Amino acid sequence: MHYQKNHKYNNKKLHFPLTIRGLSFLLLSLILLFIGFNRGELVAALVGTLLIVYMLVSFILCIISIPIWNKTSVFGSWNKTNSFSLSIMNYPIFFLRLFCSQRILLSFLQANTSVNTKQWNLTISIISNESIHQIKSPRRGVFSVNKSFLILEDYARFFSFRLTKPASLCTETVIFPAVPKSYRSTKAVSGSTGQSKGKSTFKRSENLYETRVYIPGDDPRKINWKVYAHSQTLTVREGELLPPPSAELVCLFNIKTIYLPSSELQAMFTELINRSATFLLEHLRNNHIISFIIPSLQNSHDIFRFDNRERNCSTQLLEALALPALSLEGPALESFLPSVPSGATVLIISLPETIPSLKLRKNTFFLTGPFPQSEKKQSFSKRLQQYLFLPDQNQEPPVRTYSQPEFIAWIESLSQEGFRAYIL
């Protein structure tokens, strides 16, 4: 979980300190006083007076606490275990802390999307000068602080004062990474008979020690070190399996939607990303080099590259998967295809409802879903066919294109490509 610090509150909105509860009890006390003095009801007059006195004392104590807490310095930081560490300098003495209750309010918005998603509010009670609070992750995504306050309240919460300029509070942009989730794929569309290990180049030779040049992605344990000692060339035996046809896997994320995405659609997209995480981690362990091209709102994109030989590559992959978010704006996927290395396998991750109309070049496949946890496999396959259509075969450069009637034939041909396509 990474973050960036921002050391000042910047919310200037006027805040009225009387809460709805306080207003309700204030009206109640005035009604009781009116009844007590006009009808001679002693109990009503006494209760109304006590309420007025309590509210007045609470208001005065909160006013006194404001300059005291303005002198404090509040620091916060996120930990890897989804916990928030809070420390306070110039912490008031015990007697002054009893004047009111104190808490920190951080309001987050999801970044990298034009959709006005629901704010995630994090409330942290101040109980000591140093404390650690366990935070429940709201969902996968990147969240940036939209509003931040130090709130002083009386114990009945009749009054709530927001300090917009405390001495210092480190607010952050927080990343909640994808959580790998198991999936089951439908045999009707997965190309489950495809070869993911490549095929042998050995052709009926009695000499099993003929060699070929080492290819990135080969098992390094199969290197013929005796040949290397003489020729300084990395080789493996001719009969060894070739690595997958494209050792580099480039993932494109289709985040653009035509209509405002509902909360259910956003939950489906998060489910797809979490299941994709399991799929991608499996290929990362198989020594695939995985690259992400993730669109941003400024008609640009971010590129991430993951290699199993690097440290913490799995953790970095899961954190990068927090970035894709459904949006009404953003560049089209076609703009990223020219930057994909030749020979790389392109994997387009998209919900079935938003699968774009694209020209597919060789070694371009879809990763879509989520596959419903039900027995209606065929109906989901037919639904996918309604969205996947690839017309226009006359544009240059020449590419493979498919029409809807050829969809099943295209699926069957996946097994010949040496790579799998999945509905997760």
Instruction: Tell me: pLDDT of 60 over 90.
Output: yes
CA distance 72 to 75: 10
Residue 181 lies in a domain: no
Mean pLDDT to the nearest integer, 167-182: 68
> What is the side-by-side order of every strand in the sheet holding 364-368?
301-306, 289-295, 248-253, 345-350, 364-368, 422-423
Does residue 311 share a domain with residue 354? Answer: yes
DSSP 8-state secondary structure symbol assigned to residue 255: -
Residue-level pLDDT at 374: 43
Number of domains into which the chain is organized: 3
Q: Is the pLDDT of residue 266 over 60?
A: yes
Residue 202 has pLDDT above 70, yes or no: no
pLDDT at 208: 47
Residues 409 and 388 in one domain: yes
Same domain assignment for residues 236 and 381: no
Domain that holds residue 210: 199-243
What pLDDT score does 275 carry?
84
Banded pLDDT at 207 (limits 50, 70, 90): very low
CA distance readout (Å), 296 to 255, 324, 349? 10, 9, 16
d(CA 362, CA 342) in angstroms, rounded, equals 10
Mean pLDDT score across all residues of the chain:
71
| pLDDT computed for residue 25 by the predictor | 92
Read off the pLDDT of residues 36-46 as tens digits, 9 standing for 90 and up. 888 888 888 99
Residue 271, domain member (yes or no): yes
Instruction: Please check whether residue 182 lies inside any domain of the structure.
Output: no
pLDDT the model gives residue 282: 80
Q: Higher-confidence residue: 393 or 254? A: 254
The reply to whether 84 and 233 lie within a common domain is: no
Per residue in 150-172, pLDDT (tens digit) is 899 999 999 999 887 544 455 56
Q: Which of 176, 209, 224 is the last residue of a domain?
A: 176
C-alpha–C-alpha distance, residues 259 and 249, integer Å: 30
> Do 169 and 225 share a structural domain?
no
pTM: 0.61
For the chain, how many residues are written?
Answer: 424
Which segment of 106-110, 347-351, 418-422 scores lowest on mean pLDDT? Answer: 418-422
Single residue among 176, 207, 231 that ends a domain in this structure: 176
Q: What is the pLDDT of residue 294?
A: 84
Pair 204, 226 in one domain: yes
